[in-house]
């Protein structure tokens, strides 16, 4: 895949992650600390988290198409790196009660759910693009047959 298209996909992933992280923070936060109130700067945290989670996704870039085994390995590595980033944030953030095991488990579980959902959304987008390209190619072949 050319790097420009790879970056466009990362931009789409960034906004997908930002949305999913915002939902996760709202759900998890209201479950553990419903009375918390934050300032406007806190509204930027999902964007920061999404940006930090974007960095490990660069392990999937390759000039050539990856084999299924290589892609699966890189996706697994990416998930481990994203989990490490988010747990690192959780353990260093004063606003996250990382002394409680259930909070850490919920953060790790949220990362996994967001990872699966983001990959599912991107797969659905890519699948729709592939169907459209195949349809267009079929029409083109019929016109020139």
Q: What is the pLDDT of residues 87-144, one digit of tens each?
A: 999 899 887 888 888 989 999 999 999 999 999 999 999 999 999 999 999 999 999 8
DSSP letter at 66?
P
pLDDT tens for each residue of 28-45: 888 887 787 778 888 888
Phi, psi (deg, nearest 5) at residue 101: -60, -35
Confidence band (pLDDT; 50, 70, 90) for 53? very high
| Total domains in the fold of the chain | 1
In the predicted structure, residue 145 carries a pLDDT above the cut 80: no
Helix (H, G, I), strand (E, B) or coil at 2: coil
Domain range enclosing 49: 3-143
Task: Tokens for 21, please give them.
Answer: 């992280």
Tell me the average pLDDT of the chain: 90
* Amino acid 131: pLDDT: 96
Query: Measured in whole angstroms, how far is the alpha carbon of residue 42 from the centre of its chain?
Result: 20
**What span, in angstroms and rounded, lies between the C-alpha atoms of 45 and 39?**
11
> What totals of helices (H) and strands (E) does the chain contain, helices first?
4, 0
Model confidence pLDDT, tens digit, residues 63-96: 898 899 999 999 999 999 999 999 999 899 887 8
Nearest to 113 by CA among 88, 86, 73, 91: 86
């Amino acid at each position: 895949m050319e790097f420009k298209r790879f970056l466009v996909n990362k931009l789409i992933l960034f906004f997908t992650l930002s949305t999913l992280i915002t939902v996760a923070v709202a759900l998890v936060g209201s479950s553990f600390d419903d009375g918390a109130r934050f300032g406007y700067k806190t509204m930027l945290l999902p964007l920061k988290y999404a940006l930090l989670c974007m960095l490990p996704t660069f392990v999937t870039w390759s000039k050539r198409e990856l084999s299924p085994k290589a892609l699966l390995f890189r996706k697994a590595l990416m998930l481990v790196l994203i989990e490490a980033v988010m747990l690192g944030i959780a353990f260093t953030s004063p606003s996250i009660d990382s002394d409680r095991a259930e909070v850490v488990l919920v953060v790790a579980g949220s990362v996994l759910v967001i990872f699966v959902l983001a990959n599912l959304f991107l797969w659905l987008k890519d699948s729709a693009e592939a169907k459209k390209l195949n349809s267009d190619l079929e029409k083109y072949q019929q016109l020139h047959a």
